[in-house]
Structure 1
Amino acid sequence: MLAVGAAALVLPLAAGAAPTAFAAPVSAPVLRAPAGGYEELMVPSKMGPVKVQVQWARHGGTAALYLLDGLRARDDRNAWSFETNALEQFANDNVTLVMPVGGQSSWYADWTSASNTNGQKTTYKWETFLTEELPAFLEGYGVSRTNNAALGLSMSGPAALRLAALHRDQFKHASSLSGPLNWNAPGMREAIRVMMLDAGRFNVDSMAAPWSPAWLRMDPMVFAPELRGLPMYISAASGLPGQHDRPAGLGGAYNTANAMGIEVISMVSTRAFQSRLNTLGINAVYDFPSNGTHSWKYWEDQLWKARPHILNALGA
């Protein structure tokens, strides 16, 4: 089942169209706290300039929500900005939406080396970017370094939890939607290998050696104790088709079947993670819908459910 799920994750469920051209983005802080509106920033990093889509807090507030992308993250736009109505959901809220662009198959981690299976030129250093370089840049716009939330889906679900667990001074809330949260499960590392090879031909061994400290540091089951006291929203659906599944033709049926399989795996691993947190006496808000597959419209629904918890934690 893990192999089927791995193949499913790499299908273009989380966006796969070719990149499109954009106007030249903003590239320098203006030392102000904008009230509402949308901008695209180019943020310096060890990986080179990284595009970040931003919807500023409606009333110029300092809180921010980092919306992380899926396994097939594109180089032109963060899928939250076009696969969902995330911008509309938070349009009147006093929280800035921060949507980093890129990071396909990265797991938003600091890799040990550049991938040696696809000619990657630069080593991924996404955790450093999201916890050091980007917050420092956004501080120039009046965004707080210490009043943020992280939310991820699928690949970025465990990443959102990890960023918050290991950088508690920065994040006050974390959400995982349909994330693979049990990396101890038999075959999970090889399933991740298959996913990454298909999504950009990235090598999981370049990210972290098997069972190395770097690998264990990314495993939600391992860093779970660090989540104590952190408000969290965690969800995964049953995998049964629901209101957003309307497959057309054989291609649509195939995609839906894959989305069903991977959501089942997400649900099983999320349930295992729930048990782990319960054993540790750590609380979280959970939602396990009776219907729903591994696809964007269900994550849009979950974002809406997570929204009041996020705003409450941020005081926004």
Structure 2
Amino acid sequence: MRVSRRMSHRSSWVRRAVLAIAMAMLAPLGLAAVHAAPTANAAFNPSGFDFWANDANGVPLKSRIFRAADGNTARVVYALDGLRARTDLNGWEIETDIANALTRANINVVMPVGGECSFYSDWEAPSEFGFGSSSGSSQKFPYRMETFITRDLPNALAARLGFSQTRNGIFGLSMGGSAALTLAAYHPNQFSYAGSFSGYLNISAPGMKEAMRLAFLDQNGYNIDAMWGPPWDPNWLRNDPFVFAPRLRDEGIRLYIASGSGIPGMHDQPRSFVDLYNTGNAMGLEAIALANTRAFQVRLASLGYNNVTYDYPPVGTHSWPWWADNVYRMLPDLSAHIG
């Protein structure tokens, strides 16, 4: 009985640990973002406008466009959201003021709206089961986000606004950070620059697939098998930055790779129990992102790839003010490598 209790306790601890990782993946774009918003009026930027384009399913999708201060159409960057991407506004607009900084640097900003849990991928099938949520967990059509961002949306932007479809930049946080590298690796004719902030760049690492599955289920019941198939499907490897890193090297994509330490700093000042809980989740999540990012750095070094800037501040959790700081530090490098 003593052995059985020990084994049962260990099994229970493992389950709790995996669930904690999964919950941490959700926290920054939901609960943890509550205390991270820098200002209450950051949720809508009147300098932007709605831009609609149909995806490969014929479904109209919204993006938010912010025009470069000098009116050019050659310098374009795409800003990708995280796991809990909303359908009204992109998280970068809701939680930060980066659009104003980028447009002042004469960069046009494209913020795709929506794509909750999508990893900005073309899914293999619709997610056909859910918890009755109206947010899309029981889908009529599979996501076609990769095709949308690399074909449908840039074609529409070129036709209606004259935006360049070459030497664009792309960056994102968490889910969007991983996706930014994927889209740049497979579409180098469009993207010359990619930035990842707190991204999951080694998703084949032990425990990552299981954590992602639980996170998707918790986020309105998405079936992750609909995305890249079951865990043994080659599509998982196709979308793992650690695996496809040689493509980034061979295509000469300029990279900006960042992750915080998980140690709270000036942006982390919990004032309530909920804030404290969110900060704890953001700390744990950033520690996982840091481990993924450091592994990816070693991978690039083993490939002899040095066309990259690494940004590892000594403090920083998985929350919006830290990601905004990443953009401000990245901006001169981004500006020099697009357009």
Q: Normalized against structure 2, the TM-score is what? A: 0.85
What amino acid is the match of 2:290?
A: M
Report the Cα distance in structure 2 between the residues aligned to 1:260 and 1:145, rounded to whole angstroms.
38
1:27 aligns with none
Contact 1:14–1:70 (CA<8 Å) still a contact in 2?
no
1:291 aligned onto 2:315: yes
Which residue among 264, 268, 272 is the counterpart of 2:295? 272
Which residue among 127, 131, 140 is the counterpart of 2:150? 131
Contact 2:103–2:109 (CA<8 Å) still a contact in 1?
no
Secondary structure at 1:115 match in 2: coil
Which residue among 138, 160, 163 is the counterpart of 1:143? 163
Shift of 1:199: 1.6
Larger radius of gyration: 2
Secondary structure at 1:77 match in 2: coil
Report the Cα distance in structure 1 between the residues aligned to 2:112 and 2:300, rounded to whole angstroms.
29
Shift of 1:276: 0.3
1:179 aligned onto 2:199: yes
2:90 aligns with 78
* Identical amino acids, percent of aligned pairs: 45
Contact 1:14–1:71 (CA<8 Å) still a contact in 2?
no
1:52 aligns with 63
What amino acid is the match of 2:20?
A: V
Report the Cα distance in structure 2 between the residues aligned to 1:72 and 1:15, rounded to whole angstroms.
13
Shift of 1:186: 0.5
What amino acid is the match of 2:264?
A: P
Higher helix share: 2
Contact 2:204–2:237 (CA<8 Å) still a contact in 1?
no
Report the Cα distance in structure 1 between the residues aligned to 2:157 and 2:120, rounded to whole angstroms.
18
Report the Cα distance in structure 2 between the residues aligned to 1:2 and 1:162, rounded to whole angstroms.
25
Which residue among 234, 258, 281 is the counterpart of 2:257? 234
Shift of 1:127: 0.2
1:8 aligned onto 2:28: no
Report the Cα distance in structure 2 between the residues aligned to 1:120 and 1:77, rounded to whole angstroms.
20
1:162 aligns with 182
Report the Cα distance in structure 1 between the residues aligned to 2:205 and 2:140, rounded to whole angstroms.
32
Which residue among 194, 218, 221 is the counterpart of 2:239? 218
Contact 1:4–1:262 (CA<8 Å) still a contact in 2?
no
Cα 1:298–1:211, aligned 2, differ >3 Å: closer, same or farther?
A: same
Shift of 1:60: 2.0
Deviations 1:179-226 (A, max 9, x none): 011112111101111111112211111101223222111011111001
What amino acid is the match of 1:221?
A: F
Number of residue equivalences:
297
Instruction: Name stretches of at least 5 consecutive residues in structure 1 with no aligned partner.
Output: 18-35
Which residue among 43, 47, 65 is the counterpart of 2:77? 65
Report the Cα distance in structure 1 between the residues aligned to 2:203 and 2:213, rounded to whole angstroms.
12
Secondary structure at 1:286 match in 2: strand
Instruction: Name stretches of at least 5 consecutive residues in structure 2 with no aligned partner.
Output: 1-16, 38-45, 131-137
1:122 aligns with 141
Report the Cα distance in structure 2 between the residues aligned to 1:251 and 1:74, rounded to whole angstroms.
22
What amino acid is the match of 1:86?
A: I
Report the Cα distance in structure 2 between the residues aligned to 1:199 and 1:288, rounded to whole angstroms.
29
Shift of 1:95: 1.5
What amino acid is the match of 1:124?
A: Y
What amino acid is the match of 2:24?
A: A
Shift of 1:70: 0.5
1:43 aligns with 53
Shift of 1:37: 5.0
Contact 2:168–2:190 (CA<8 Å) still a contact in 1?
yes
Contact 2:175–2:199 (CA<8 Å) still a contact in 1?
yes
Report the Cα distance in structure 1 between the residues aligned to 2:21 and 2:321, rounded to whole angstroms.
19
Q: Normalized against structure 1, the TM-score is what? A: 0.91
